[in-house]
Chains A and B, each alone.
Chain A
Amino acid sequence: QKEVEQDPGPLSVPEGAIVSLNCTYSNSAFQYFMWYRQYSRKGPELLMYTYSSGNKEDGRFTAQVDKSSKYISLFIRDSQPSDSATYLCAMSERDTGRRALTFGSGTRLQVQP
């Protein structure tokens, strides 16, 4: 079983829809939670970064972390065709010397105009 599970999709939605992307994880030592967006033939770019549990909002994006359930989410409001990409969740530990990110497999999102 992988440490981080993510539905690969593809997820197809109409323009303007609210998108919900999710990851579950098994390692309770994860403290930092991130969402990256990766366009085809590009490197991942950081969208959202959250420490521990709670919500964080940035424009049309909202990240939620529920450590008790080991579940994180990314919501995209008013989705646009330009949001079509692969979304990767990533996590890392703190204070264990493990300075490396563990990624989910990515969810491919298609926003139809």
Chain B
Amino acid sequence: KAGVTQTPRYLIKTRGQQVTLSCSPISGHRSVSWYQQTPGQGLQFLFEYFSETQRNKGNFPGRFSGRQFSNSRSEMNVSTLELGDSALYLCASSRTGGETGELFFGEGSRLTVL
């Protein structure tokens, strides 16, 4: 069974640009969550989607957005990039939702903002 797939794995952007990251969940999983991981703040919840609807959102500015498609694949977008957005962005999928904690993580997309 294939795991959670994230693309691209690495990318470099400059301040002010925007970026779109993609996540393909495990087959049959309908919930996709996104987390940001930095050395200073650790893993922080961005948002969670279930059946194309955003169910939860973390404490991040509106520059961070996401969506989920009918096949459960998800994208997240960060506009007007700032240096502080440099991080590992992790996608996680679960069958029903994240409240029980049974999340399966991808290997992440490492974003560097110059």
Contacts and interface: CB of A to CB of B under 8 A. Distances in A.
Contact of B103 (A33, A93, A101, A102): A101
Contact of A43 (B58, B99, B100, B108): B108
Interface residues of A, number: 28
Contacts of A41: 107
Contacts, number: 72
A99 B105 contact: no
Interface in B82-114: 90, 92, 97-108
A44 B48 contact: no
A32 B99 contact: yes
Interface of A: 32-34, 36, 41-46, 49, 51, 88, 90-94, 97-106
Contact of B102 (A43, A49, A88, A105): A49
